[in-house]
Amino acid sequence: MAKSSSLNVRVVEGRALPAKDVSGSSDPYCLVKVDDEVVARTATVWRSLGPFWGEEYTVHLPLDFHQLAFYVLDEDTVGFCLCPPGIDSWINLSRVDPDAEVQGEICLSVQMLEDGQGRCLRCHVLQARDLAPRDISGTSDPFARVFWGSQSLETSTIKKTRFPHWDEVLELREMPGAPSPLRVELWDWDMVGKNDFLGMVEFSPKTLQQKPPNGWFRLLPFPRAEEDSGGTLGALRVKVRLIEDRVLPSQCYQPLMELLMESVQGPAEEDTASPLALLEELTLGDCRQDLATKLVKLFLGRGLAGRFLDYLTRREVARTMDPNTLFRSNSLASKSMEQFMKLVGMPYLHEVLKPVISRVFEEKKYMELDPCKMDLGRTRRISFKGALSEEQMRETSLGLLTGYLGPIVDAIVGSVGRCPPAMRLAFKQLHRRVEERFPQAEHQDVKYLAISGFLFLRFFAPAILTPKLFDLRDQHADPQTSRSLLLLAKAVQSIGNLGQQLGQGKELWMAPLHPFLLQCVSRVRDFLDRLVDVDGDEEAGVPARALFPPSAIVREGYLLKRKEEPAGLATRFAFKKRYVWLSGETLSFSKSPEWQMRHSIPVSHIRAVERVDEGAFQLPHVMQVVTQDGTGALHTTYLQCKNVNELNQWLSALRKASAPNPNKLAACHPGAFRSARWTCCLLAERSAAGCSRTHSAVTLGDWSDPLDPDAEAQTVYRQLLLGRDQLRLKLLEDSNMDTTLEADTGACPEVLARQRAATARLLEVLADLDRAHEEFQQQEQGKAALGPLGP
C-alpha cells in the first residue's frame, strides 16, 4: 500500500501591496514554499500594487509534510508571508518574523536516571540537519541549549554548517518542585550582535516519564500569537486544496476497474447505473476537471481512451436538442476531451505554436485595432517622426497581425501528419456521432464546429492567450505583448468558429481583419476533413504504461554542467554550458543541439535528484544528479539552472523519470566535497553517509505526469462514495417498482433488471473497498502503537 498527497494551489492576485520602489510602486512576485523549500515562483508583475498572477500548481508531496507558506516579495526587497490551511479567499499579509522562520530536525536520546542524589536527566545531543541558514555565507554556527527546570547547559558551537554533529551528553539534576518539561533550543552564534534563533523542541514531564524521546524531532518556532496586520501590508488571494489519499494495492481496485471498463462497452444513452453515469451526475466544478484528468489517464492506461470519450460523446449528443449548444457547457464530456488533448497533444501543440509565439515575445511589436485603446503618440516617442493617424495605426497593426496569424494558420493546417493518432481517432469518432445526430443539410457545419470547438477554442486559442500556462514560455507576457496575444487568440477563436460570429458581436473594430479570417475558414474545413481521414475506429486496446514512449524527450534546454571536483579547476571555470535532453531512458549532454557527440547517463542509474546549497559553489539554482554505476560506486553531476522555476521544473522532471528506479537514496549531501571535506556537514570522508533527507516524492504535477492506475482508481472511488446514498435509494426504488409502473413509464423489465444488478454490483464493490481501507488503517494504527523504528 502507498500513500499519496497532492496540493492544488492557485495564486490568483494581490491587492493594496505596499510601495517598495522610489516610483511609488512595486514589482511583486510570489513564492510558494513547502516545509521551507521553494516549490514554485510566479512571474514578476512589474510596477503594480494590485498584481494578477492567475498561476496554478499541483504539487505531489509525501504525507508527512508540515507547512505550506506563501511569500510575496518585491524584486529587490524583503517580503511578507502567510501560512494558510485549505482556503479560497483573501488573506492579509504579515511581516516575516525571523524567529518563526525555522526549519530542520534534531536527533536526541534522553534518559531519566535515579541515584542516591535524586533524579537526573541525561540528554544526548547527537546532531541536527537542514537548519535555516542565518549567515550571509548561506550557513550557520549552531549550538544547542538544554533547559530542565531552572537549569540549562549548552553544547559546543559548530562553525559554518547547517548539519552539525555534536555527539555530546548533557546531564541536569532535578530541582525541588513540580516536574518540569525538557526544552532544547538551537541557536546560531554571532560574534557581533545577538544570536539568531534556529528552532526548538519541547517534551512534557509525562512524555519524559513514560516514553523518553529517542530519535529525530522537527524543530518548531517559539509559541506566539498569530498577528494580523489588518491589511496594512496588503493581501493575497489564493485557493488551496489538499488531497490526501491512502492508495491500496492494485488487486483491491480490480473489480472497480472492470466495472469502469464495462461501462464504455454498453449503450451509453440508456446507462443510468454504471460508475461513469453516476460520476457524470455527481461531479461539479473543480472536481469535474480533476476527475476528468484521472479518468482519461485511467482509460489511456488500458488503451481505451477512445471508447471512453466516445461513450461520453454519445451521452452528450443524445441529450442535446439545439446543435448550437453542443459541448458548450463544462460537462464531463467536454472536460474529458479537453484534458485528453492536453495529456496526449502537448508536444504537438508546442511544435505548432512555439515558433510564432516566440517571435511575438521577442519582437514586441505594438498592435492595436480598437480605437479606444490605441496609443497614437507611441510612434512619436519611438521614432520622433510624428504620431500616426488612427487609420495609419490600424493599417500597420493589421499588417502585423496577419503577419503572425498567417504562419499560425499555415502551421495548423499543415500539421495533420504531426497530430497524435489518438487525437485524430477521437476526432473521427466525434465527427461521426455528431453527423449521425444532426444529419440535416442546415446542420452540415455542426460536425466541423464540434471538432474545431475543442481544437481551436479549448486548445490553440488558450495556449496563445496564456503561453506560460501551456509551457510555451517561462514568463508571463508584459502588458503590451499580452494585448498582442489577446488579439491573436481572438482571431484564432473566430477561425475556430468558422467565421459564423463575425460582425455579430460588440467588437466591430475587428472588422478589418474579417476578410483574412474568412479566407482561413475554407482552409480550416479542409484541414478538419483531412484530420479525421484516418484508418481505424478505435485504439488497439493495448495497455499503456506511459503517456509517451520512453524515448520521447520530456524536457530539454541549456544548463551549466559540472562533474565531481575536477582537479585544478577554479569553481567558475568548472561549470560549462551544455545542451541537455531528458527522456524516459537517458539524460544526455552535448555542446549544442546540433552537436553530433553526446554524453548520456541512463535514467535507470539515477539514485537521487536534489538541490545543492548555494554555499557549495557560491552559485544559486544548482541541483545534483546522483547515479550509481555497475560496480556500485556513486557519482554526482551538478547542473545549474537560470532561475528557481527552471530548477523546480528540472528537479520534478528528473524525479518523475527516475521514480521507478530501485535502491533510491534516503539521504544525500546538499553540499559538495571540496577541499577534502563536505561543505554541508564538514565530514572529511567522501563516502560519508548523506546528512540530509532526499525529496524524491516532491514533484510538480503537469501534463507529463506518469500514469498511476492505482492512484487514479482511488480518486474515482472517492468520488463514487459521494453518491453512495443516492445509489442505495435508487436500488430500493427499483426493487419496489411494480409492473404497473413499468407499463406507465414504458420501461423494459429486462433493462430495469440490468440496472438493478449493476447498481447492486457497484454498491458491493464500494463496500469491499471500504473494508480494505479499514483493514489497512487498523494495520497502520497497530504499527504506530509500536513506536518509530528509526529516524
Q: What type of residue is 205?
A: P
pLDDT at 748: 64
pLDDT at 16 over 70: yes
> Residue 139's CB: how many other CB atoms inside 10 A?
24
Give the CA distances from residue 265 to residues 437, 575, 686, in Å, rounded to whole numbers and listed in that order. Answer: 20, 57, 60
pLDDT at 453: 93
Tell me the backbone φ, ψ of residue 92, rounded to 5 degrees: -65, 140
Which is higher by pLDDT, 132 or 384? Answer: 132
* Lowest-pLDDT choice from 86-100, 134-148, 206-220, 561-575: 561-575
Residue 451 falls inside a structural domain = yes
Confirm if 419 and 345 have CB atoms less than 8 A apart.
Answer: yes
- Crossing angle of helices 332-363/285-301, nearest 10°? 90
pLDDT at 468: 86
pLDDT at 81 over 70: no
pLDDT at 381: 47
The DSSP-derived string for 272-315 is: -SSHHHHHHHH--HHHHHHHHHHHHHHHHHTT-HHHHHHHHHHH
**By C-alpha distance, which of 731, 711, 717, 708 is closest to 769?**
717
Enter the C-alpha cell of residue 718: 472517492
* CA atoms of 208 and 755, how far apart (whole Å): 61
Q: What's the average model confidence in pLDDT over 497-521?
A: 84
- Is the same domain home to 503 and 361? yes
Q: What's the average model confidence in pLDDT over 132-158?
A: 90
Residue 404 falls inside a structural domain = yes
Residue 492 falls inside a structural domain = yes
Element holding 198 (H helix, E strand): strand 196-203
Residue 603 falls inside a structural domain = yes
- Is the same domain home to 297 and 371? no
- Is the same domain home to 639 and 714? no
pLDDT at 226 over 60: no
Identify any residues that bridge with 41 across adjacent strands, giving them in sequence order: 31
Which is higher by pLDDT, 409 or 35? Answer: 409
pLDDT at 566: 54
Residue 138's domain spans which residues?
105-218
The DSSP-derived string for 714-748 is: HHHHHHHHTTHHHHHHHHHHHHH--HHHHHHHT--
- Is the same domain home to 255 and 237? no
Query: Dihedral sign, CA of 29, 33, 36, 38?
Result: negative
Residue 444 falls inside a structural domain = yes
* CA atoms of 675 and 678, how far apart (whole Å): 8
Q: What's the average model confidence in pLDDT over 348-377?
A: 90
Q: What's the average model confidence in pLDDT over 233-244?
A: 81
> How does the average pLDDT of the chain come out, rounded?
84
Confidence of residue 280 (pLDDT cuts 50, 70, 90): confident
Q: State the CATH number of the domain containing residue 514.
A: 1.10.506.10
- Is the same domain home to 671 and 605? yes
Enter the C-alpha cell of residue 443: 446542420
- Is the same domain home to 406 and 500? yes
pLDDT at 183: 93
Q: State the CATH number of the domain containing residue 591.
A: 2.30.29.30
- Is the same domain home to 336 and 459? yes
pLDDT at 790: 43
Confirm if 162 and 137 have CB atoms less than 8 A apart.
Answer: no
Identify any residues that bridge with 385 across adjacent strands, giving them in sequence order: none
Say if residue 269 is exposed, middle or buried (CB neighbours under 10 Å; 0-12, 13-18, 19+). exposed
Enter the C-alpha cell of residue 705: 505526469
Q: What's the average model confidence in pLDDT over 585-605?
A: 92
Residue 735 falls inside a structural domain = yes
* CA atoms of 613 and 616, how far apart (whole Å): 6
* CA atoms of 563 and 546, how far apart (whole Å): 31
Give the CA distances from residue 636 to residues 561, 654, 671, 718, in Å, rounded to whole numbers and listed in that order. Answer: 11, 14, 11, 42
**By C-alpha distance, which of 763, 787, 786 is closest to 256?**
763
Which of 499, 532, 565 is the last residue in one of the domains?
532
pLDDT at 292 over 80: yes
Q: Is 9 helix (H, G, I), strand (E, B) or coil?
A: strand
Q: What's the average model confidence in pLDDT over 619-623?
A: 93
Q: How much of the chain, in percent, has pLDDT values that exceed 70? A: 86
* CA atoms of 715 and 710, how far apart (whole Å): 9
pLDDT at 525: 93
pLDDT digits (tens, 9 = 90+) for 662-673: 999 999 999 998
pLDDT at 41: 85
Q: What's the average model confidence in pLDDT over 628-632?
A: 91
Q: State the CATH number of the domain containing residue 165.
A: 2.60.40.150
Confirm if 240 and 39 have CB atoms less than 8 A apart.
Answer: no
Which is higher by pLDDT, 570 or 164? Answer: 164
Residue 508 falls inside a structural domain = yes
- Is the same domain home to 128 and 267? no
- Is the same domain home to 334 and 432? yes
Confirm if 208 and 112 have CB atoms less than 8 A apart.
Answer: yes
pLDDT at 61: 78
- Is the same domain home to 571 and 624? yes
pLDDT at 52 over 70: yes
pLDDT digits (tens, 9 = 90+) for 429-460: 999 999 999 988 888 889 999 999 999 999 99
The total number of structural domains in the chain stands at 5
Q: Which residue, chain included where needed, has cell 487568440?
A: 489
Say if residue 500 is exposed, middle or buried (CB neighbours under 10 Å; 0-12, 13-18, 19+). exposed
Residue 479 falls inside a structural domain = yes
pLDDT at 170: 94
pLDDT at 787: 52
Confirm if 248 and 709 have CB atoms less than 8 A apart.
Answer: no
- Is the same domain home to 115 and 63? no
- Crossing angle of helices 709-721/749-785, nearest 10°? 110
* Lowest-pLDDT choice from 217-226, 403-412, 517-526, 641-650: 217-226
- Is the same domain home to 498 and 455? yes
